[in-house]
Amino acid sequence: MFTRKNGRHWLAAAAMTGAAALALTGCAGGGDAGGEYDPDEEVTLNFTWWGNDDRADRYGQLIEAFEAEHPNITIDGTFTDFPSYWEKRKTEAAGGGLPDVWQFSDSYLREYAEPGLLLDLDTVGEYIDFEAFDEGLRQTGQLDGTQYSLPTGYSSWAVFLNDGLLEAAGVEPYEGGTTYDEYTEWMAEVTEATGGEVYGGTDMTQRIQTFENVLRAEGGNLYTEDGELGFTEDQLRDFWNSGAEARDGVAIPQQQLEEIAPISGFGSNRTASEASWSNFLGGYLADSGAESVTLVAPPLDVPGGKDLYRQAGLQVAISADTEHPEAAAMWLDFVVNSETAGEVFGTTLGFPASETKLAGTTLEGVDAQVADYLESVSDRIGDAPPVPVVGYGSLEQTFWDLGKSIGLGAISVDEAVSQFFGEAQVILG
C-alpha cells in the first residue's frame, strides 16, 4: 500500500492467480454523456493502470496535481502487473463493473469497443483536446471511425543494456542491429565472463513482439486486415526453435525468472540486457538501481528491413457505464494532454503523443535518451500493423506463457505450436 500526501491511499491490486477468462458482455449501461459538468458536485472516479512502483509514484503525483485543480473530484487509483490487470478487466466486464477511467491498450480495442463497453469520446469532446494529436497517432484509438481511447505516447522496440554490469564483467556493450545469432553470441560472452552470476539476457523468443519484428522484416505481420493470423505453424516453429541456443545456458533460466516475478531479470540485475519498449527506460532504472542504462537497436536479420513501428498501444479509455462522463473526460484529458503529465511522466508512458503534453516534457536525462533512441532507429520504422484482432491480448499472453513453458522444459516446441494454433482457432473463431 502506498500512502498519498493528502492522507488518502491508492493500492497495488493483488494478482489474480488462476482467474477464469470470462466472456465479455455487451450490456454496457452508458452514462449521461454530453451533459453539463457541475464544478460543485462531489465526484469520485475509479482509475486503474498496470505497471511498477515507479509508474505508480508518478500517477500519484499526477492525481494530486489534478485534484488540486479540481477539488471536487477524487481519483481512487489502483494498479497491478500486466497479466493480472487484464484478467481483472475481463471479470469486471462480465459483471458490469469496469473502472470509470483506465489505462488501456490498442491490443484490446476491438474486444472492448465492439460490445459497447467503451465510451465514444466524441460525446464528451468539449472536455478533450483532440487537435493536440497527430492524426496517425489519434487513429490508434479509433475503430470504424469512432474515437474510443487516446494514446499517452508512443514507443519502439529496443534492447536495454546495464552499463555497470557490463563494465564489471569486462564485456563490450552490444552494438545493436546485428543478426539474432550474433546477439546470442554476445549474450554468451557475458554469461561466460561472469560465470553465470549475471546472464547476457533473456530468451527473446518468449515475446510475441520479437516474432512480430521477424515477420515485419520479411514484409509480413502477425495478423491480416481480415482478422486472421499472418503466419504459419512452420514459421512459428522455426522461430521458437531459434531460441534453443539461448535456452541452453546462455540466457537466464526460466526458473530464476519465475522466482523473481513480476520483476524482470534485467530489473533485478540478473541479466545485462533485455528487450522491451523504449518507454521502459525509467522503470528499468528504478527497478535495477543502475546508474546507467543504454538503449540500442534490436537484432535484425534482413538488411534494410522495416521491422519497427511507432507503437502507441498504451492508451487511456473511459467505460461506457461511468456515472460521471464529463469528469472522466477531464481526467483522461489531463493524463494524455496536460503539460503537467509531460513534467511528471516524461517519456515513461511513451514519447508524448500530444503537442501539449510534449510541451511540458523537458527532454534531458532519461527523456533525452529515449528521444535520441527513437531518432536513431527512424530508418527502421515502417507502417503500423493492422488494428489488432479481437482477442489479440489473450493471444499475446498465450504466446508468452507458452514461451515460458518451453523455457521450463514443460513442453516441446511442437507441443507449444499446436497449443498456440488451437487457442488461436478458438479465439479467432
Tens digit of each residue's pLDDT (9 = 90 or more) over 307-344: 999 889 899 999 999 999 999 999 999 999 999 999 99
For 286-300, letters b (16+ CB in 10 Å) and e give: bbbebeebbbbbbbb
Same structural domain, 340 and 417 = no
| CATH for 294 | 3.40.190.10
Is residue 221 situated within a structural domain? yes
Lowest pLDDT segment from 27-41, 78-92, 380-394: 27-41
Question: Which of 357, 378, 399 is the endpoint of a domain?
Answer: 378
For 44-57, what is each residue's pLDDT tens digit?
999 999 998 999 99
Write the single-letter amino acid at 289: G
Residue 388: phi and psi, rounded to 5, are -55, 145
Is residue 245 situated within a structural domain? yes
73-80 vs 43-50, strand pairing mode = parallel
Do 11 and 2 contact (CB within 8 A), yes or no? yes
Confidence of residue 36 (pLDDT cuts 50, 70, 90): confident
For 233-254, what is each residue's pLDDT tens digit?
999 999 999 999 999 999 999 9
pLDDT of residue 110: 86
Same structural domain, 275 and 173 = yes
Same structural domain, 275 and 403 = yes
Same structural domain, 161 and 262 = yes
- Cα dihedral 107, 220, 376, 379 sign: negative
Measured distance CA(247)–CA(407) in Å, rounded:
6
For 174-214, what is each residue's pLDDT tens digit?
999 999 999 999 999 999 999 999 999 999 999 999 999 99
Same structural domain, 355 and 421 = no
What percent of the chain shows pLDDT beyond 90? 77
Q: Which residues are CB-contacts of 315 (< 8 A; sequence separation ≥ 6)?
A: 103, 104, 105, 106, 140, 141, 149, 150, 151, 152
Is residue 12 situated within a structural domain? no
Same structural domain, 277 and 399 = yes
Judge whether residue 89 has pLDDT over 70.
yes
Residue of higher predicted confidence among 393 and 156: 156
pLDDT of residue 144: 87
Measured distance CA(5)–CA(104) in Å, rounded:
27
For 363-386, letters b (16+ CB in 10 Å) and e give: beebbebbbebbebbeebeeebbe
Is residue 11 situated within a structural domain? no
Is residue 25 situated within a structural domain? no
Is residue 29 situated within a structural domain? no
Burial class from Cβ neighbours inside 10 Å (0-12, 13-18, 19+) for residue 114 reads middle
Same structural domain, 317 and 212 = no
pLDDT of residue 35: 64
Same structural domain, 395 and 359 = no
Same structural domain, 302 and 210 = yes
Is residue 3 situated within a structural domain? no
Do 215 and 229 contact (CB within 8 A), yes or no? no
Same structural domain, 171 and 64 = no
Angle (CA) 319-383-354 rounded to 5° is 50
pLDDT of residue 384: 82
Judge whether residue 12 has pLDDT over 50.
no
Judge whether residue 429 has pLDDT over 80.
no
Same structural domain, 316 and 300 = no
Measured distance CA(316)–CA(423) in Å, rounded:
28
* Section 119-128 average pLDDT: 97
Confidence of residue 390 (pLDDT cuts 50, 70, 90): confident
Residue of higher predicted confidence among 214 and 223: 214
Residue of higher predicted confidence among 37 and 100: 100
Distance of CA 319 to CAs 46, 264, 337, 363, 367, Å? 10, 31, 19, 33, 31
- The total number of structural domains in the chain stands at 2
Beta bridge partners of 73: 43
Residues present in the chain in total: 429
pLDDT of residue 267: 95
Residue of higher predicted confidence among 269 and 393: 269
Cis peptide before 386 (omega within 30 of 0): no
* Section 351-370 average pLDDT: 94
Write the single-letter amino acid at 96: G
Is residue 210 situated within a structural domain? yes
Lowest pLDDT segment from 256-265, 356-365, 382-391: 382-391
Confidence of residue 79 (pLDDT cuts 50, 70, 90): very high
From first CA to last CA, the distance across the chain in angstroms is 41
Q: Which residues are CB-contacts of 238 (< 8 A; sequence separation ≥ 6)?
A: none
**Could you tell me the residue range of the domain that residue 63 belongs to?**
43-155+311-378
Mean pLDDT in the chain?
Answer: 90
Q: For the chain, what is the HEC assignment? A: CEECCCCCEEEECCCCCCCCCCCCCCCCCCCCCCCCCCCCCCEEEEEEEECCHHHHHHHHHHHHHHHHHCCCEEEEEEEECHHHHHHHHHHHHHHCCCCCEEEEEHHHHHHHHCCCCECCHHHHHHHCCHHHECHHHHHHHEECCEECEEECEEECEEEEEEHHHHHHHCCCCCCCCCCHHHHHHHHHHHHHHCCCCCECCCCHHHCHHHHHHHHHHCCCCCECCCCCECCCHHHHHHHHHCCHHHHHHHCCCHHHHHHHCCCCCCCCCCECEEEEEHHHHHHHHHHHCCCCEEEECCCCCCCCCCCECCECCEEEEEECCCCCHHHHHHHHHHHHHCHHHHHHHCCECEEECEHHHHHCCCCCCHHHHHHHHHHHCHHHECCCCCCCCCCHHHHHHHHHHHHHHHHHCCCCHHHHHHHHHHHHHHHHC
Same structural domain, 301 and 325 = no
As given in the structure block, the three cell numbers for residue 363 are: 527532454
CA dihedral 208, 257, 369, 63 (to 10 degrees): 90
